[in-house]
Amino acid sequence: MSDAYDLVVIGGGPGGYVAAIRAAQLGLKTAIVEKRGALGGTCLNVGCIPSKALLQSSHHFEFAGHEFAHHGIKTTGLTLDLKTMMGRKDKVVQELTQGIEFLMKKNKIDYILGEGLITAPGEVAVKPAKKGDKKQVLKTENIIIATGSDVTPLSGVKIDEKRIVSSTGALELKGVPQTLVVVGAGVIGLELGSVWGRLGAKVTVVEFLDHILPGMDAEVSKQMQRILAKQGIEFKLSSKVTAAKASKAGVTLSIEAVSAEKGGGKKETLKADVVLVAIGRRPYTEGLGLDKAGVEMDDHGFIKIDEDFQTNVEGIFAIGDVIGGAMLAHKAEDEGVVAVEIMAGQSGHINYDAIPGVVYTWPEVANLGKTEEQLKEAGVDYRVGKFPFTANSRARCNADADGFVKILADATTDAVLGCHIIGPEAGDLIQEVAVAMELSASAEDIARISHGHPGLSEAVKEAALGVDGRAIHI
> Rounded CA gap, 406 and 386, in Å?
4
Q: Which listed residue (65, 121, 214, 455) binds ligand NAI by CB under 6 A?
A: 214
**Closest to ligand FAD by CB, 13 or 385:** 13
**Closest to ligand FAD by CB, 365 or 467:** 365
177 lines the binding site for ligand FAD (CB under 6 A): no
300 is a catalytic site residue = no
- Site residues for ligand FAD, window 431-460 (CB under 6 A)? none
Are 282 and 300 spatial neighbours (Cβ–Cβ below 8 Å)?
yes
124 lines the binding site for ligand NAI (CB under 6 A): no
User: Which partner from the list ligand NAI, ligand FAD, none does 418 bind, CB cut-off 5 to 8 Å by kind?
Assistant: none
Phi, psi for residue 146 in degrees, rounded to 5: -135, 55
Partnered with residue 255 across adjacent β-strands are 241, 268
Half-sphere exposure of 81 toward its Cβ, with a 13 Å CA cutoff? 6
115 lines the binding site for ligand FAD (CB under 6 A): yes
Q: Which listed residue (22, 36, 198, 394) binds ligand FAD by CB under 6 A?
A: 36
- Site residues for ligand FAD, window 91-110 (CB under 6 A)? none
42 lines the binding site for ligand FAD (CB under 6 A): yes
User: Which partner from the list ligand NAI, ligand FAD, none does 82 bind, CB cut-off 5 to 8 Å by kind?
Assistant: none
279 lines the binding site for ligand NAI (CB under 6 A): yes
User: Which partner from the list ligand NAI, ligand FAD, none does 189 bind, CB cut-off 5 to 8 Å by kind?
Assistant: ligand NAI
Q: Which listed residue (121, 280, 294, 348) binds ligand NAI by CB under 6 A?
A: 280
- Kindly write down the DSSP assignment for every residue of 206-259, as one continuous string: E-SSSSSSTTS-HHHHHHHHHHHHHTT-EEE-SEEEEEEEEETTEEEEEEEES-
Q: Which stretch binds ligand NAI (CB under 6 A): 185-193, 311-319, 372-380, 396-404?
A: 185-193
14 lines the binding site for ligand FAD (CB under 6 A): yes
Are 321 and 336 spatial neighbours (Cβ–Cβ below 8 Å)?
no
Q: Which listed residue (5, 8, 9, 16) binds ligand FAD by CB under 6 A?
A: 16
193 lines the binding site for ligand NAI (CB under 6 A): no
**H or E stretch covering 30:** strand 30-34
Are 144 and 344 spatial neighbours (Cβ–Cβ below 8 Å)?
no
Residue 246 CB, nearest approach to ligand NAI (Å)? 17
**Closest to ligand FAD by CB, 324 or 388:** 324
User: Which partner from the list ligand NAI, ligand FAD, none does 85 bind, CB cut-off 5 to 8 Å by kind?
Assistant: none
Amino acid letter at 270? L
Are 13 and 20 spatial neighbours (Cβ–Cβ below 8 Å)?
no
Residues found in the chain: 474
**Closest to ligand FAD by CB, 333 or 372:** 333
Find the helix packing angle between 218-230 and 187-198, rounded to 10°: 20
263 lines the binding site for ligand NAI (CB under 6 A): no
Count of beta carbons in the 10 Å neighbourhood of residue 269:
10
Phi, psi for residue 217 in degrees, rounded to 5: -55, 135
- Site residues for ligand NAI, window 138-157 (CB under 6 A)? 154
**Closest to ligand FAD by CB, 177 or 385:** 177
Give every CB contact of residue 323 below 8 A, 6+ residues apart in sequence.
283, 302, 303, 304, 305, 309, 335
> Rounded CA gap, 275 and 131, in Å?
35
> Rounded CA gap, 311 and 309, in Å?
7
200 lines the binding site for ligand FAD (CB under 6 A): no
- Kindly write down the DSSP assignment for every residue of 357-389, as one continuous string: EEE-SSSEEEEEE--HHHHHHTT--EEEEEEEG
Q: Which listed residue (39, 188, 409, 441) binds ligand NAI by CB under 6 A?
A: 188
Q: Which of 284, 263, 390, 309 is nearest to 13 (CA)?
A: 284
User: Which partner from the list ligand FAD, ligand NAI, none does 197 bind, CB cut-off 5 to 8 Å by kind?
Assistant: none
324 lines the binding site for ligand FAD (CB under 6 A): no
Q: Report DSSP state, residue 9.
A: E
Q: Which listed residue (80, 103, 209, 391) binds ligand NAI by CB under 6 A?
A: 209
Q: Which residues bind ligand NAI (CB under 6 A)?
A: 154, 183-189, 191, 206-209, 214, 240-241, 278-281, 326-328, 357-360
Q: Which residues bind ligand FAD (CB under 6 A)?
A: 10-16, 33-36, 41-43, 47-48, 51-52, 115-116, 146-149, 167, 188, 284, 287-288, 320-321, 327-330, 332, 360
**Which residues are marked as active site?**
453
